[in-house]
């Protein structure tokens, strides 16, 4: 739902925006329907919107040039928003929550794990795990595809980055992750430091969940120390690293923070992207048929896709690209201005909250014809070169662009191709309309229940 908002009187050299609201009213509206609220602000007031939100002056930026200014050109003047900082209660000082030199050091240490050559090594594992998942499906069965994709990508991250088989632990990890992500609710995030220490059921589940992940990650670290290096994965690199300033190896807390961040972020976003892909394909049979035709042509029966096949799967990639446009798992980015600055000709005071929304910008008809329609062909045309770079930014941009973006692109295409080679996913006749659950990532509310159908003649036997 798109919210229609009243316009406040024009103020010289101040961006347009809504008028006064009862304290807390806009925060509650955001909690009820965050994508609708941001879309309404953008459609009502334009490229830059100023409003009060959660006790702060906030600016919603809806133009690619302004987004590029914050993420790239003047990135050093914008720090992570205070809400995301509160995720340090869970993630510590990992890549997602660290700043400045701490972030630069962590990124340098982790970057080699995501080099092209390493991702090529991971491709076989990705396809094999997808085949393993598909082998458990039964023709005509109905199940939660969101859960299946979550479990699949979790196993892939476990094997590729940690050399660990997490099979059998997916349910527990997913349940614990849900408990932790209760803090991603806007109200919980604002009150996180207080809620985390109050004697409530929420606080108790939070601490139990954090302790579970501590045991899991520290256990993996201890096992690797005992077995010794040799896998060349994330744990090997972190354990062998040396702090540039002290000349000492990082402590276990640092390793834990980086490992936990990549374990959670490395599977959650890709799982959501794939889930939305299946949802969109089921709603668009012609696009689904083209995907199946391409996959069937490139991958004969019994063949799993590899890195060398990616160039022969352009339509499969375009399906993923269009899904990331319409349902970006990372649907909003928050920043805080360090010093006074000017954006779009308007003054932005230090301390202001900056909001960038992939959900809003990706559906802007100025940059995407038929912006609300699922049209994978738009990514096969030459029109892409005419589009501003930051009209589409599913993985962010600038120095803090998602470090695993290439990993995610490769994984997404390989998993789609592997599963679509044998299976078709359909919306059950009695299915309810799919609703979104925008939290840290954009999920389908209550999962996504679909019926799986084995494709005749593509059984791979």
Q: For residue 230, is pLDDT > 90?
A: no
pLDDT range class, residue 182, cuts 50, 70, 90: low
Q: For residue 77, is pLDDT > 60?
A: yes
Mean pLDDT of 431-455: 92
Tokens of 113: 């794990």
pTM over 0.85: yes
Burial of 65 (0-12, 13-18, 19+ CB in 10 A): middle
Classify 229 in phi/psi space as left (phi over 0), alpha (psi -120 to 50) or beta: beta
Q: What is the pLDDT of residues 86-144, one digit of tens each?
A: 677 778 888 888 888 888 888 988 898 899 999 999 999 999 999 999 999 999 999 99
Per-residue pLDDT, 209: 82
pLDDT range class, residue 429, cuts 50, 70, 90: confident
Tokens of 76: 């050093």
Per-residue pLDDT, 53: 86
Tokens of 399: 């120095």
Weakest-pLDDT range from 245-249, 359-363, 368-372, 406-410: 245-249
Most confident range, picked from 103-112, 177-186, 258-267, 308-317? 308-317
User: Across all residues in the chain, what is the average pLDDT?
Assistant: 88
SS3 272: helix
Contact 161, 188 (CB under 8 A): no
Mean pLDDT of 198-216: 79
For the chain, the structural domain boundaries read 25-454
Q: For residue 8, is pLDDT > 60?
A: no
From CA 439, how far away is CA 199, in angstroms rounded?
24
The side-by-side arrangement of strands in the sheet containing 423-426 is 142-144, 449-454, 423-426
pLDDT range class, residue 84, cuts 50, 70, 90: low
Task: For tokens 């899904």, name the residue.
Answer: 323
From CA 41, how far away is CA 26, in angstroms rounded?
11
How large a percentage of the chain has pLDDT more than 70?
Answer: 88
Considering the domain 25-454 in this protein, what is its CATH number?
1.10.630.10
3-state DSSP percent of the chain in helix, strand and coil, to 5: 55, 10, 35
């Amino acid at each position: 739902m798109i919210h229609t908002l009243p316009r406040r009187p024009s103020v010289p050299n101040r961006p347009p925006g809504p008028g006064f609201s009862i304290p807390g009213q806009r925060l509650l509206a955001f909690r009820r329907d965050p994508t609708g609220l941001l879309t309404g602000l953008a459609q009502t007031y334009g490229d830059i919107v100023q409003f009060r939100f959660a006790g702060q002056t906030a600016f919603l930026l809806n133009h690619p040039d302004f987004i590029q200014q914050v993420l790239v050109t003047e990135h050093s003047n914008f720090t992570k928003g205070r809400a995301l900082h509160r995720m340090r209660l869970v993630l510590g000082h990992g890549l997602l929550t660290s700043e400045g030199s701490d972030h630069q050091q962590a990124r340098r240490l982790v970057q080699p794990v995501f080099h092209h050559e390493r991702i090529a090594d991971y491709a076989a594992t990705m396809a094999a795990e997808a085949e393993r998942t598909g082998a458990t499906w039964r023709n005509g069965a109905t199940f939660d595809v969101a859960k299946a994709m979550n479990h699949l990508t979790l196993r892939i991250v476990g094997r590729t980055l940690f050399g660990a088989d997490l099979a059998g632990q997916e349910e527990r990890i997913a349940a614990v992750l849900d408990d932790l992500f209760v803090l991603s609710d806007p109200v919980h995030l604002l009150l996180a430091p207080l809620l985390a220490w109050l004697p409530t059921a929420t606080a108790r589940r939070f601490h139990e969940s954090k302790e579970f992940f501590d045991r899991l990650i520290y256990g993996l670290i201890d096992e690797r120390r005992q077995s010794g290096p040799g896998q060349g994965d994330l744990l090997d690199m972190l354990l062998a690293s040396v702090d540039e300033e002290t000349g000492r190896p990082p402590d276990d807390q640092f390793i834990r923070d980086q490992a936990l961040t990549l374990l959670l972020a490395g599977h959650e976003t890709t799982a959501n992207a794939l889930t939305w892909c299946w949802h969109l394909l089921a709603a668009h049979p012609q696009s689904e048929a083209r995907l199946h035709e391409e996959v069937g042509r490139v991958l004969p029966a019994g063949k799993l896709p590899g890195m060398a096949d990616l160039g022969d799967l352009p339509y499969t990639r375009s399906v993923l690209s269009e899904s990331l446009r319409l349902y970006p798992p990372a649907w909003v980015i928050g920043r805080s201005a360090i010093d006074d600055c000017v954006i779009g000709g308007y003054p932005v005071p230090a301390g202001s909250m900056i909001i960038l929304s992939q959900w809003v910008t990706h559906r802007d008809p100025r940059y995407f014809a038929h912006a609300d329609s699922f049209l994978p062909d738009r990514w096969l045309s030459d029109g892409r070169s005419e589009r501003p770079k930051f009209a589409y930014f599913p993985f962010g941009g600038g120095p803090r662009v998602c470090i695993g973006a290439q990993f995610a692109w490769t994984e997404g295409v390989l998993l789609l191709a592997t599963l679509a080679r044998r299976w078709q996913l359909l919306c059950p006749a009695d299915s309810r309309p799919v609703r979104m659950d925008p939290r840290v990532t954009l999920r389908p509310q209550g999962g996504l229940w679909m019926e799986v159908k084995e494709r005749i003649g593509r059984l791979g036997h």
